[in-house]
Amino acid sequence: MCTGACSKFIAIPLYVLALVSVICNIMLFFPDFDTKYAAEDKKGAPRITEEVKYMGGFIGGGIMILIPAIHIHLTSAKNCCANRCGMFLSIGFAAAGVLGAIYSLSASSLGLANGPVCYWSNVDSAIPEWGRPFANSSGNYLNDKSMWSWCKSPPNVVEFNLGLFSTLMVAACLELIFCAIQMVNGLFGCLCGTCSGNKE
């Protein structure tokens, strides 16, 4: 496979992964698919998991991947950046994508480790309160489903956060791999040409 065709093969999954990351990050603002928690959080009452506000999926896994994906895709098109200079620039864009993926991965990992913000109580007699019951558990709550019932509201917030943050982590890992491959591909394209258009 020539370097130009490889760029196209890399760019298309990056578009999908960037879209998935953005959607997951936006959904995390609405636990139980309800807007009231975001509205209450905006008024100063913590209701949304702090790591969601880092916008790792939107900025890191989304925008910082989408921009490199567009340039990487252009390097595979005939008569449009499909040259050694374009491939050289794609190395820099792919490096920015790596940074974005690492940011998204870091934010989602922290979100999983610290758990969600919820209205919780770990014993029936205790008065429930808003907070992060798993913040000091080092992620141990993930292996003990009995602890998930501590969160009373929003309903199923642990599963909600677990599913979306895990998806963000997988997407970020794949983005990291694709961008790293493009850095190598861009180096070969810079040295040897893209072979996607006329001979240079």
Residue 174 falls within a domain, yes or no? Answer: yes
176 lies in some domain: yes
**Which residue range(s) make up the domain with 52?**
3-192
**For residue 199, is it within any domain?**
no
The string of DSSP letters for 47-65 reads: -S-GGGGGTIIIIIIIIHH
Q: How far is CA 182 from the centre of its chain?
A: 18
Residue 136 lies in a domain: yes
For residue 197, tell me if it sits in a domain: no
- 3-class SS at 118? strand
Helix (H) or strand (E) holding 26: helix 3-27
Do 52 and 28 touch, CB atoms closer than 8 A?
yes
Helices 84-114, 3-27: inter-axial angle, 10-degree rounding: 30
In a domain, 91, yes or no: yes
* Spatial separation of the C-alpha atoms in residues 150 and 118, rounded to whole Å: 9
Amino acid at 169: M
DSSP state of 129: E
Q: Quick check: is 32 in a domain? A: yes
60, exposed or middle or buried, with CB in 10 Å at 0-12, 13-18, 19+?
A: buried
User: How many domains, the chain?
Assistant: 1
Decide if 139 is inside a domain: yes
pLDDT tens-place values along the chain, 200 residues long: 565 667 778 889 999 999 999 999 999 999 999 999 999 999 888 999 999 999 999 999 999 999 999 988 887 665 445 566 777 788 899 999 999 999 999 999 999 999 999 999 887 657 888 999 998 887 789 998 889 999 999 999 999 999 999 999 999 999 999 999 988 888 877 776 555 544 44
